Amino acid sequence: METIFRLAEPRLCQSLERGRSVLLLGPRQTGKTTLIERLEPDLSLNLMRPEIRQRYERAPELMNVVQDLIDRRLARFVLTGSSARKLRRGTGINLLPGRLTPLRLDPLSIAERCPPKLEDALV
């Protein structure tokens, strides 16, 4: 299957190359997971899958571990989700302020969907 270039991809790659971790938010089904998979991560955990979520049930502690690994420059992360509001409602959850570069992946834009030539786009 052909993948579509996303405008957020260069900023994502630049942040990771500079040693930064990223918080990638956007509506459901916009391609966040597909974009991450194209980066070929060393490890990918999808907490929406019950068998994985059960292994990492204590999210507040998980985020503290992520913060420690970022602070000690032992790992880089790309954390994704469709909404940060759910996290903000929870109490005691560490949202890693100042440690993540925030990026947003919206549904495909005209620039991402259309061929580069106007004539091709009109056909």
> Which one, of 4, 37, 19, 16, lies nearest residue 106 by Cα?
4
pLDDT at 11 over 90: yes
Q: CA neighbours within 13 Å on the CB side: how many for 99?
A: 20
Predicted local confidence at residue 17, as pLDDT: 92
pLDDT at 2 over 80: no
Q: Give the whole-angstrom CA distance, residue 107 versus residue 110.
A: 10
Q: How far is CA 3 from CA 57, 75, 101, 107, 112, in A?
A: 33, 27, 24, 14, 11
Predicted local confidence at residue 55, as pLDDT: 83
**Residue 56 has which token pair?**
């990492």
Most confident of 45-49, 52-56, 103-107: 103-107
Predicted local confidence at residue 121, as pLDDT: 62
Predicted local confidence at residue 93, as pLDDT: 60
Q: Give the whole-angstrom CA distance, residue 77 versus residue 84.
A: 16
**Three-class SS state of 97:** coil
